[in-house]
Structure 1
Amino acid sequence: MEPEFQTALRIASYNIRAGLGTDLRRDPARTLRAIAALKADIVTLQEADFRMGARPSALPRDLLRDMTGLVPVAGDDRSLGWHGIALLVRPDIVAQDVHRLDLPSAEPRGAVVVDLLSALGPIRVVGVHLGLLRRSRRRQLDYVRDFIGGLAPMPTVIAGDFNERSTRVGLGRIAQDFTILPAARTFPSTLPLLPLDRIAHCDQLQVRMEPVPKMPAPHPSDHRPIVAAVTARPMAGSRRPDPPHSSPLPR
């Protein structure tokens, strides 16, 4: 492992389809085992709550921490998240500010913006689940970017289901301020063809995509998760210390 990633945070994103697997069985315990297997410090979930009525959590709260070691920070007493977008963190990571956004769309869409205090220091994680239409996604990314721009500067990661099929077009506006990492194909989970799930980051961070543990069949969701390692970018002018020089052995 490169030295700069030895203390990295693992950040994952996973659209869990409210615990509905590819066998069309709703199995929350199976979903929790899949989340635990990611071994992430921070996880953004999409479709973590049911859509109807009071939007109750699709995952049992009493098992969440026991099975994953994570706690939710963006929900309320009924919902795990906001518009189904939840943010789970290790208990030693502290949520300092939580913003719940209603995104412009003909369909209900939202985002969560959470300022965290972690082992890396302050970090802002934005969880998104963008719309089905490209014009809607562009408006939503503009809205998220403008909202973040109005906050105090902080190292930022955006993660979630971007619902964008193309790796070349459709997300250009967010690319003005963020690096969008190369996308793996995550949908459908049984035979991934489309790179719908993405991670983007600001220039204060170094981020690299990580291998994802193999999920047992039937898959816990119709999406596959993504995982990235996140660390601070060295300040300009700084460099790693030179390795110690070895003295020649006496003859």
Structure 2
Amino acid sequence: MKLPSDSHAARRLLRRIRDARRGARAVHHPHPGEAPDGLTLRVASYNVHKCVGRDGRFDPQRIAAVIGEMDADLVAIQEADRRFGRRYGLLDAATLRQESGLHLLQVSDLPDGHGWHGNAILLREGTPLRLHRLALPGAEPRGAVIAELDLPVGRLRVVAAHFGLLRNCRMRQGAAILRNITEGAPMPTLMMGDLNEWRPGRRSALRSLEPFFGPMNEGPASFPTRMPVLSLDRILGWPNGLVHSVEAHDTPLSRVASDHLPLKALLRLDLLDGAAEDAAPRLAGVG
């Protein structure tokens, strides 16, 4: 194909080709209430960049609108708080409830905080049975929230995490999370977050998670929002088959609201009765 000589026209043409390919690959993802072939739960992960968009504007309402677009039942948020100084929450909880029907779990150890090291969890329905704030090893302050939830569809462990910028630190952080998971009761487990790893295969720091979650295939590109090329954000599940239909939520609003696109996925919980308990002996050596 010969591209137009004008550079702006060429870029427009390439964008149209890319969008057409994306549309051809698009799959209809039924709402949980519409799925005829099984019980599903819609989940999402979103690095909100402290609610500062590509335009440099601080706008929590815009973030809430993007979350409302996804119509998720459970969302992991990264960068929900200020990182330095007084780490108060940056989300607009009232607008979030209005736009999405989701509420913030009480994760922070501060009265006006929303997360732990910026990691927050939004939930539509359910009761937290256990919440653990895990400090992750590394050269910079990082953490993960591990929540065991009693949902209308059953029990689910959720790990919300934001890994570091150094590969060695990411390896250690993954190993720390696996140790914590495998010390708990076996149950379906969902891990979501900005894992800051773009390399697939043997060079990937996410190999530290493979003993539990299986092979780390390259996920949808989510960063930067101007032209996503790096798969920094992940939605992982155990047992095999828990997570499917993972894709970036790419809309005009999500392109400007943060420097990351959100990821969304479906969880098939109806297929997992007894799966976690049956696998307990196999997990004894993991971690």
Fold match (TM-score > 0.5): yes
In the TM superposition, 1:1-251 aligns within 5 A as: 3-4=36-37, 6-73=38-105, 74-75=107-108, 76-90=110-124, 92-168=125-201, 169-179=204-214, 180=216, 182-203=218-239, 205-217=241-253, 219-232=256-269, 233-234=271-272
Q: 1:3 to 1:206 in 2, by over 3 A?
A: farther
User: In the aligned structure 1, how far is the partner of 2:171 from the partner of 2:245?
Assistant: 24
Kept after mapping to 2: 8 A contact 1:181/1:198: no
Mean Cα displacement is larger for which, 180-189 or 205-214?
Answer: 205-214
Equivalent-residue separation in structure 1 for 2:165 and 2:205 (angstroms): 12
Over 3 Å counting, the alpha-carbon distance change for 1:23 and 1:72 in structure 2 is same
Question: Which amino acid is the alignment partner of residue 64 of structure 2?
Answer: L
Alpha-carbon shift at residue 196 of structure 1 (Å): 0.2
Secondary structure of the structure 2 residue equivalent to 1:200? strand
Partner of 1:243: none
Per-residue deviation, residues 186-232 of structure 1 (Å, max 9, x unmatched): 00011001000011111165211244443225510000000110123
Distance 1:211 1:194, change over 3 A: closer
**Could you give the per-residue CA deviations for residues 51-110 of structure 1, whole angstroms, max 9, x where no partner exists?**
1222111112332212221111123521111000000000x2111111001100110000
Aligned-partner Cα distance in 2 for 1:38–1:84: 21
Q: Which has the higher helix share?
A: 2
Show structure 2 runs of 5+ residues with no match. Answer: 1-29, 276-287
Determine helix, strand or coil for the equivalent of 2:64.
helix
Query: 1:3-40 CA deviation, whole Å, 9 max, x = no partner?
Result: 54x42111100000011000111111111000111110
What is the identity, as a one-letter code, of the residue corresponding to 1:163? N
Conservation of the 8 A alpha-carbon contact between 2:248 and 2:263 = yes
Instruction: Please tell me whether the aligned partners of residues 213 and 240 of structure 2 are also in contact (alpha carbons under 8 angstroms).
Output: no
Alignment RMSD? 2.0
Matched residue SS, 2:122: strand
Task: Indicate if the aligned counterparts of 2:146 and 2:159 stay in contact, CA closer than 8 A.
Answer: yes
What is the percentage of aligned positions where both structures have the same residue? 37
Aligned-partner Cα distance in 1 for 2:252–2:99: 17
Aligned residues: 235
Give the counterpart letter for 1:135 in structure 2: N
Gaps of 5+ in 1: 238-251
Normalised by the length of structure 2, the TM-score is 0.77
Length-normalised TM-score, structure 1: 0.87
